[in-house]
Amino acid sequence: MRKLFGTDGIRGTANAEPMTAETVLRLAVAAGRHFTRGDHRHLVVIGKDTRLSGYMIEPALTAGFISVGMDVVLLGPLPTPAVAMLTRSLRADLGVVISASHNPYADNGIKLFGPDGYKLSDAIEAEIERNMENGAAVLAAPERLGRARRLDDAQGRYIEFVKATFPKGLTLDGLKVVVDCANGAAYKVAPTVLWELGAEVIPLGVDPDGFNINKECGATHPDALQSQVVAHGADLGIALDGDADRLLMVDEAGRVIDGDQLMALIARSWAEAGRLAGGCVVGTVMSNLGFERFLGGLGLRLDRAPVGDRYVLELMRTHGCNLGGEQSGHIILSDYATTGDGLIAALQVLAVLVRSKKRISEVAHVYEKLPQLLKNVRVNGGAALDAPQVQAAIREAEAHLGAGGRLVIRKSGTEPVIRVMAEGENADLVGRVVDRLVDAIARAARH
């Protein structure tokens, strides 16, 4: 069982356990112990987003890795998928991202990538935790200590990598695009990619100050993007989150296009071109039933994974699929990347738009979403779910929704909340079911 690692690495309030400099240093020593195997000179790459606490966590990680004989390459602020790409490109033994993704600035986290650029398995994360607990690290002799250096062209390498995924012969000439970088890791690279491919770019969320990451901006708060797209008469808007592994888009009328809709658009395009592998798309238990029915109409299936992009990727690899993701906007295109990449996914959508010569509102709203409602209940732990009154409320909710609906209740792996989602044909019924369950869980959590 893992205690520190959740669905997407380790996450918590900065300068409180487990996100303290001391624990982070121990993590680096323990991870280094696992990945320093063989006689070659070992290498770890470290990227981060724009949170103030990154200045504390980055040197603590660096010290830990150097102490076990690993060289460290510091990438600076860079999207999570860029770190995964550079882990492979630089033939590193380990890649590290310092980020709490879509969380507010007061939180931070650590994501680890193996030498293949994929997030670590549960088993490896559990072994790293055991290494931390037993404290039996073998520190390097003085002459075997690692060295640290900065990679000055890290952003340029990633920019060229992303541009190469856009189909040759196409450009974004004539498109006016608003891009919201959430004051996060993509604040330099995202506008540059779009401009160099030909778009007129209106940037938002590109003034990070250590405190404003994800604050009323980005993929989790698209209101500002929606209003700016309309105000500027733009063709579309692109919203990334703090570490740029998540994407939402906005059409010219300011309507949000979520991850399920974007995957549906890409799936149809790739299927028509004979590019879609495995005859399926991998979503999660949160993916809308309308999405599943749309794929069925194309002769494709939706395979559902637990929430978390690494679980999506595991199922993609098992079923031989090259497209998967989450409604929240993590979209994995495994022909190009080993993890969710908001910029690469946006370019695939833009390629469909350019080829069709239509407005995004005409091509992106490809199916009718079934009424779906998600609410969070803030709790300490998940014991409230086991309360008899909560279990009774769940059974009652399932009976009301019937065979045509779905109910998903789960503990978040990234925040201290329980997520309650219901879906069905009747929006009023869905709303009543969710409200009753939220109330039951909240009451149980107080007692």
Return the structure tokens found at 160.
């060229």
Quick one: angle between helices 342-356 and 259-272, nearest 10? 60
Please spell the DSSP secondary structure of 163-198, one letter per residue: HTTSPTT---TT-EEEEE-TTSTTTTHHHHHHHHTT
Return the structure tokens found at 373.
């409602």
- Cβ burial of 386 (10 Å; 0-12, 13-18, 19+) is exposed
Distance of CA 2 to the CA centre of its chain: 20
73 lies in some domain: yes
Strand, coil or helix: 52: coil
Return the structure tokens found at 390.
């909560």
Counted residue by residue, the chain has a size of: 447
Same domain, 19 and 92: yes
Same domain, 250 and 261: no
Task: Give the dihedral of Cα atoms 248, 250, 251, 253; nearest 10 deg.
Answer: 160
H helix runs in 276-405, sequence order? 289-297, 309-319, 342-356, 360-363, 388-401
Same domain, 236 and 270: no
Domain final residue, candidates 195, 229, 255: 255
H helix runs in 36-121, sequence order? 54-67, 80-89
One-letter identity of residue 220: T
CB 309 within 8 A of CB 211: no
C-alpha to C-alpha distances, 183 to 103, 104, 175, 370, nearest whole angstrom: 12, 11, 23, 33
Same domain, 335 and 388: no
Return the structure tokens found at 21.
């400099």
Q: Tell me the pLDDT of the chain (447 aa) as tens digits.
A: 678 998 889 999 999 999 999 999 999 999 999 998 878 899 999 999 999 999 999 999 999 999 999 999 999 999 999 999 999 999 999 999 999 999 999 999 999 999 999 999 989 999 999 989 887 678 999 999 999 999 999 999 999 999 999 999 999 999 999 999 999 999 999 999 999 999 999 999 999 999 999 999 999 999 999 999 999 999 999 999 999 999 999 999 999 999 999 999 999 999 999 999 999 999 999 999 999 999 999 999 999 999 888 899 999 999 999 999 999 999 999 999 999 999 999 999 999 999 999 999 999 988 999 999 999 998 876 678 888 999 999 999 999 998 888 999 988 877 788 999 999 999 999 999 999 999 999 988 887
**Which residues constitute the domain of residue 131?**
10-152
Omega into 416 within 30° of 0, i.e. cis? no
Same domain, 17 and 123: yes
Same domain, 386 and 433: yes
Same domain, 176 and 57: no
C-alpha to C-alpha distances, 72 to 35, 90, 125, nearest whole angstrom: 13, 11, 20
pLDDT computed for residue 364 by the predictor: 92
Same domain, 306 and 376: no
Q: Distance (Å, rounded) from C-alpha 109 to C-alpha 111?
A: 7
Q: Distance (Å, rounded) from C-alpha 57 to C-alpha 63?
A: 10
How many structural domains comprise the chain?
4
The closest alpha carbon to 51, from 194, 184, 232, 161, belongs to 184
pLDDT computed for residue 39 by the predictor: 80
- Hey, which residues does 284 pair with through a beta bridge? 305
One-letter identity of residue 432: R
pLDDT computed for residue 382 by the predictor: 62
Domain final residue, candidates 133, 152, 171: 152
Q: Does the CA dihedral 293-294-296-300 come out positive or negative?
A: negative
Same domain, 271 and 383: no
127 lies in some domain: yes
Contact residues for 211 (Cβ-Cβ < 8 A; gap 6+): 52, 105
Q: Is residue 287 annotated as part of the catalytic site, yes or no?
A: no
349 lies in some domain: no
CATH number at residue 316: 3.40.120.10
Domain final residue, candidates 152, 187, 204: 152
Return the structure tokens found at 328.
């929240």
pLDDT computed for residue 138 by the predictor: 83
**DSSP secondary structure letter of residue 122:** H
Choice among 53, 99, 101, 328 that is catalytic: 101
